[in-house]
Each structure stands twice: as C-alpha cells, then as structure tokens.
Structure 1
Amino acid sequence: MAVGVLALQGSFNEHIAALRRLGVKGVEIRKPEQLDSVTSLIIPGGESTTMAKLAEYHNLFPALREFVKMGKPVWGTCAGLIFLADKAIGQKTGGQELVGGLDCTVHRNFFGGQIQSFEAEISVPNIAATEGGPPSFRAVFIRAPAILEVGPEVEVLADLPVPSDKTVDSSFALESQEESSGSEKKVIVAVKQNNLLGTAFHPELTADTRWHSYFLKMVNGVGEGSSNSILTAGEDLSLYQLPKIDLPIFQ
C-alpha cells in the first residue's frame, strides 16, 4: 500500500514517518499527474494560504477535487482540513481556494496565532473502539482551525470546549453540553464524512499512530482487516504518550 502525501509545504515529512512506523509507504505529491499513482491522500498541516497558492501554481485544485469526487480516501490535518471544507471563514483578504467535499464550515486560526498553540487531551471513543489504546488522545493544536458547523452526513469524532474568552459569531450553533456549572460550548475538531477525514490538530507530531491507522482502515474499506495499532493484553500504554513538546496545556 502506498499513501500519497501532499508535499507542497508543511508537515508532510512527519506524516510519511508516521506511515512508515505502520509499515506503509508515503509518496510525496506535488503535481496533478502524481495523483494517478496513489489511491488515497493526506493533506498535511502548514500555512493554508501558502499551500493554496502553491497548489494553484501547480494547477492541483482540479485534480484534487476530482480525486475527492471519485470517492478516494482523503485526510486533511489542520491546514488540510481547511482545504477539504466546503466553507471557510476568518480567512485573509481575498480568501483562498478550497478543494471542498467535506460538508462543514471551518474557522481558520480559530484558536489564535502561533503563540496560542497548545496541547489538549481530547476524548476519542471512536478511535479507541476501532484502534484500541487509551480513550483519549493528546492533541497538538498549532495555529489551529475549528469546525463550527457540520452537515447531516458528517460524523463528529472529537470536540473541544471553547475558551471562555473566545467570541464566536452567534449565527453558528455550536455544540453545547449541560454540566453542573451550566452549559459548556464546544467546537468540533475531528470529523469523518464517507471517504473524507478531517482533524484540526496534528496527529503526525505525536508518537500515537492511531489516527493514521484509522485512516488506513478507510483506505482498505471501513471495518475490513485488522489494525496493527490495536493494543494486546499487557501492552505498554506509554507507547501512546506524547513526546515532550513545549506547548501550553489547554484547560
């Protein structure tokens, strides 16, 4: 199996390394014709405006849209999530071109700029159910977007509380969860819709390969085969711990 990784800019090398740890080859994709050699694609995190300009320069958008429409598995992380969204807000003047296909509205840099990057423990019951391991995932958010709205066919895989000092456009009906202290607003940070997977965070920057394994199951057909990442009895849970990265912890 070979998985294409869009290699215009951003953390494509880290995705290729994560795939290698699962015994899968990652193929760098920079030109439209190279998409013909792969049956799945990862669009990595990076600077979304820069990536869009480079994709436009290489005339990649028509080929990427066709790739999505053909039902081939595509996973977008951070900037890649913005690429896959049908609608993006909070963009720079003039906006950026999108691939689309994922029925959601994404807010670019929802959590702030580079200095507001953080780590957070998020609940991932779907991932734990199919890939084993802990019921939570230590997620790395770097200039991260967030999903404000999703369509009826979109499956939410993870969400995160909105910071108390964060102002959100009232036209978006954010998820709310009743707690003893009142209603807590949340934004969505991971979704799946048919052949498309989107995460607002960077699994490729952690030692936990369960998101990559989950995507590989999408490539093979949901529910088919078995995952190498499933924990066996007595397996060391420390394998799933995040390496030391100097980012603040989001509470």
Structure 2
Amino acid sequence: MVTVGILALQGDVAEHVRALEESGARAVLVRRQSELDAVDGLVIPGGESTTMSNLLLSFGLFDPLSKKIADGMPVYGTCAGMIMLATHILDGRDDQRSFAAIDMVVRRNAFGRQVDSYEEDLFIDGIEGAPFPAVFLRAPWVESVGNDVKVLARAGNLPDGPIVAVRSGQAMATSFHPEIGSDWRFHDLFVRMIRGEA
C-alpha cells in the first residue's frame, strides 16, 4: 500500500484523506519534514496560494518539498495546489513562490470570485467512464503549457476552452476540487501514478 501525504497547512485536507483512502492508499497529514520524508507522493490541496506559500516558508517545508518534487516525488495539486506547481503565476503577489514542477502559466482566480463558483461535467483524457463532476471554487486556469505538458481537460469540453487539468511526468494538477463529492477517479489516477501503473 502506498502512503500519500496531504499538505495539511490549510484547505480541504479531510476530504482528500477520504478520497485517497477510498482509492486504496494510506493517507497521512504532512506539516513537518519528518512526515514529508515518510510519504510516497503528496497532494497539495486547495486553499489560498499566497498564504500557503508563506506557511510553507514559516514551517520550513518549502525547500525540502521543492527538492523532493525536483527529485521526482509524485505530486498532485488541486486549485491553489495547481498554482503552487506552476512555473509562472499571473495576478499573484510579488513575493509568492511556487515549485515550478509543471511548465505552465497559471492565472489566479481566473474564473472569478467565490460567487462565480460552479460545477460542470468534464471529459478527462486518461479517465474512463462518465464525465467527471468538476467543482470550481475561485479557481485558477492554465493560460499556456510547455511542450512536455499533457492537457487532460478544458472547461466546457471545448477544444479552445481554458485548460483546467494537466499532467507532466510525475506531477498533475487540476483547477477544480475532485475531493468534493464521491467520485474518486482523479485520486485513483494519482495513486496509480505513484505505483507506476499510469
């Protein structure tokens, strides 16, 4: 059984624990380096990306996590977690840091404010079956990606719609919150990535 950490500084931590356990993984909370060193992969949940960046620095986790990601540890970022994995952030603060794990330009709060949150069914490249129920909460989107980044989904299922799910090697990110609801297919995909099965 793989052990998957959830960065537990803020965000939908409990929901990710449930989704990972439903996907056959052992889920643990990560707040310090000793906990980070004990996991096979890590989920960076939603929340507020500038706050998350500052908390990572305050907890002394930013550099150790950055090194583990650079060394190939599987990582999955949702919403603010997507922002944390980007190489470039639009509409971010000047002091905001990210891990540059996926060659992409991400725009913060691209879908609007909290009142503009919505849900839609998306067809996901690499996930079989019915469309995935994607919940967008003050979500970012991806403005552009590098050549090594695979686009998994676009808003509205449109060929030119905003990019909302990507994967690059052992790193994956979604604009939306797959931990909300009861469809665990994204978490199952991440667990299979960690096992080397996807």
Where on the TM-score scale, by shorter chain, does this alignment land: which range?
over 0.9
> Residue 126 of structure 1 aligns with which residue?
126
Structure with more relative contact order (C-alpha pairs < 8 Å, separation 6 or more):
2
What do the CA deviations read for 1:78-122 (whole angstroms, capped 9, x no partner)?
Answer: 000000001111124x34111211100000000011111110111
Moved over 6 A (4+): none
> Residue 74 of structure 2 aligns with which residue?
73
> Residue 159 of structure 1 aligns with which residue?
154
Q: Structure 1 residue 203: deviation in Å?
A: 0.2
How far apart, in 2, do the equivalents of 1:53 and 1:61 lie?
A: 9
How far apart, in 2, do the equivalents of 1:200 and 1:95 lie?
A: 22
> Residue 111 of structure 2 aligns with which residue?
111
What do the CA deviations read for 1:31-83 (whole angstroms, capped 9, x no partner)?
Answer: 12321111110000111121111111012111111111111110000000000
Alignment of 1:174-193 (within 5 A): 177=159, 185-193=160-168
Identity of aligned residues (%): 42
> Residue 139 of structure 1 aligns with which residue?
134
Q: Structure 1 residue 186: deviation in Å?
A: 1.4
Aligned in 2, Cα 1:101/1:22: closer, same or farther, shift over 3 Å?
Answer: closer
* Consecutive unaligned residues in structure 1, runs of 5 or more: 163-175, 178-184, 224-251
Aligned residues: 197
* Consecutive unaligned residues in structure 2, runs of 5 or more: none
Q: Secondary structure at the match of 2:21?
A: helix
How far apart, in 1, do the equivalents of 2:101 and 2:151 lie?
A: 16
Higher alpha-carbon Rg? 1
What's the TM-score once normalised by structure 1's chain length? 0.75
- Contact kept, 8 Å, 2:88 with 2:105, in 1: the verdict is yes
> Residue 15 of structure 1 aligns with which residue?
16
Q: Structure 1 residue 20: deviation in Å?
A: 1.7
Q: Secondary structure at the match of 2:161?
A: strand
Q: Secondary structure at the match of 2:40?
A: coil
What do the CA deviations read for 1:110-162 (whole angstroms, capped 9, x no partner)?
Answer: 0011111110111114211xxxx31x111000000000100000011000149
> Residue 228 of structure 1 aligns with which residue?
none
How far apart, in 1, do the equivalents of 2:142 and 2:32 lie?
A: 29
Q: Secondary structure at the match of 2:197?
A: coil
> Residue 196 of structure 1 aligns with which residue?
171
How far apart, in 2, do the equivalents of 1:95 and 1:189 lie?
A: 25
What's the TM-score once normalised by structure 2's chain length? 0.94
How far apart, in 1, do the equivalents of 2:46 and 2:33 lie?
A: 19
> Residue 197 of structure 2 aligns with which residue?
222
Is 1:210 aligned with 2:185? yes
Partner amino acid for 2:192?
A: K
How far apart, in 2, do the equivalents of 1:90 and 1:159 lie?
A: 21
How far apart, in 1, do the equivalents of 2:161 and 2:25 lie?
A: 35
Partner amino acid for 2:97?
A: E
Q: Secondary structure at the match of 1:153?
A: coil
How far apart, in 2, do the equivalents of 1:59 and 1:124 lie?
A: 35
- RMSD after superposition: 1.5
